[in-house]
Structure 1
């Protein structure tokens, strides 16, 4: 017989007291992105000076958070067995999600299920989103900006009136001491037809050209990121055909070039 611990507010408060600042940051990032690999978490939260010690610390900390039932690994890894624990894919458990709700002063959700291991296409897409967040965070350590907001689905969905919603893959805000850039991200995996991409662009354009505002009260720009330059060029042609003004609102680049594109745009006066 397996005994299940009842997750109460008191228990979660006690659990919070056991967590370091880094523990809390790891849990927050997993809530923010939904999934992160061990390697991505290592880049985000562990000292890069000594790579051997860095990997050892990452294994120790993530095992502790797993033992506390705050995080778990999916039954799939990036890079296969040879990747070791760096290839494990981590996600929050129901306990971890309840802990985050408590920290925000929200009512604890009564029913939460563990994330079942999704298929490879879903994970490839989700980890591509996470990689943009991870890389931007790394760049921000050496430049004068912050990743002040990064929401993934469904937290990034935005009401568009008449019961309709805008459905980006992520909402991003990069902030400097003087200004900020707001973006809706579309992480394209070259699985959708160009007519469907055209419809997505028209949905965004209709919203923005009719005075629609994003979560922070300003109209976000939209960035499509793609697996390769050929796909990026094809989407850019779709964007250009829609309107001469579209280039200012909707852009396209590759997954790999997206962080550089975003930080370059942020630096523009």
Structure 2
């Protein structure tokens, strides 16, 4: 199928608001599973129709070359059909994303290590989105990389994500928290992780000089298990000048640290 301007002009009016939102989010995160898309965009459907509606929409968008399936379909488990696939923007989706994002991403080339990392960051976003639906907090902002990167001087700070949450307490008090997020999958040791701490400290010093009236986001390292969390805490403990900036949390329960 040739993706021409005529084809895109004919396709555009057929897309729903949900379709455009799916394009926007897949463009931002580069890679999402069908299950993650279901949790983001089909939560308002009944339990019996949720999977059926997700399958129909993703099949249609894939057929229109808006989305593409990449990687290997995962076998087994409760997920079936399109929930088991990984999705990225296809050629038509790349063109359409220019109207839904100021910085659409290039087509994704499958590479297992980066895929797992992209999906882990996306899973954090989906978890926070689901948590916000309860009304106990508001997800005010979530920026994956590279949108969350910060330039200062001739350097670039490259967090995995930036998140901002708002909480309203029963007594009417309001609190807004901002966070730089590092999603640690327990596969980086030594210098690569240790250099993250001085990078954040350098940006913190720059921020204090440039914007002393603004609070600095807390830096949260999320880890997959307790052993890794202990390792990260030891690294932070070795920098007493930075302890107040950093926190360590579990990927299984991110709200425990973000709402603390």
Deviations 1:14-33 (A, max 9, x none): 43322222212222221222
Q: Cα–Cα, structure 1 residues 103 and 12, in superposed 2: closer, same or farther, change >3 Å?
A: farther
Summarize the alignment of residues 33-72 of structure 1 with structure 2, pairs less than 5 Å apart.
33-47=29-43, 50-72=46-68
Q: 1:150 aligns with which of 128, 142, 149?
A: 142
Partners of 1:239 and 1:250 within 8 A in 2? yes
How far has the Cα of 1:84 moved from its partner? Answer: 2.9
CA distance in 2, matches of 1:223, 1:79: 33
Partners of 1:132 and 1:259 within 8 A in 2? no
Deviations 1:19-67 (A, max 9, x none): 2222122222212222111111111111366333111111001111112
Partners of 2:149 and 2:158 within 8 A in 1? yes
Residue 170 in structure 1 maps to residue 161 in structure 2: yes
Partners of 1:76 and 1:117 within 8 A in 2? no
- Consecutive unaligned residues of structure 1, counting only runs of 5 or more, are none
How far has the Cα of 1:167 moved from its partner? Answer: 1.0
TM-score with structure 1 length normalisation? Answer: 0.82
CA distance in 2, matches of 1:182, 1:79: 38
CA distance in 2, matches of 1:233, 1:28: 37
1:117 counterpart residue number:
110
Residue 223 in structure 1 maps to residue 216 in structure 2: no
CA distance in 2, matches of 1:4, 1:49: 34
Summarize the alignment of residues 205-244 of structure 1 with structure 2, pairs less than 5 Å apart.
205-211=201-207, 219-244=216-241
How far has the Cα of 1:83 moved from its partner? Answer: 4.1
Instruction: Report the RMSD for the aligned CA atoms in angstroms.
Output: 2.7
Give 3-state SS (helix, strand or coil) of 1:171's partner. Answer: strand
2:182 counterpart residue number:
186
TM-score with structure 2 length normalisation? Answer: 0.85
Q: Cα–Cα, structure 1 residues 55 and 200, in superposed 2: closer, same or farther, change >3 Å?
A: same
Give 3-state SS (helix, strand or coil) of 2:98's partner. Answer: helix
Q: 1:88 aligns with which of 82, 85, 88?
A: 85
2:2 counterpart residue number:
4
How far has the Cα of 1:242 moved from its partner? Answer: 0.2
How far has the Cα of 1:208 moved from its partner? Answer: 0.2
Q: 2:118 aligns with which of 120, 123, 126?
A: 126
Give 3-state SS (helix, strand or coil) of 1:185's partner. Answer: strand
How far has the Cα of 1:113 moved from its partner? Answer: 5.6
Aligned residues: 251
Q: Cα–Cα, structure 1 residues 66 and 53, in superposed 2: closer, same or farther, change >3 Å?
A: same
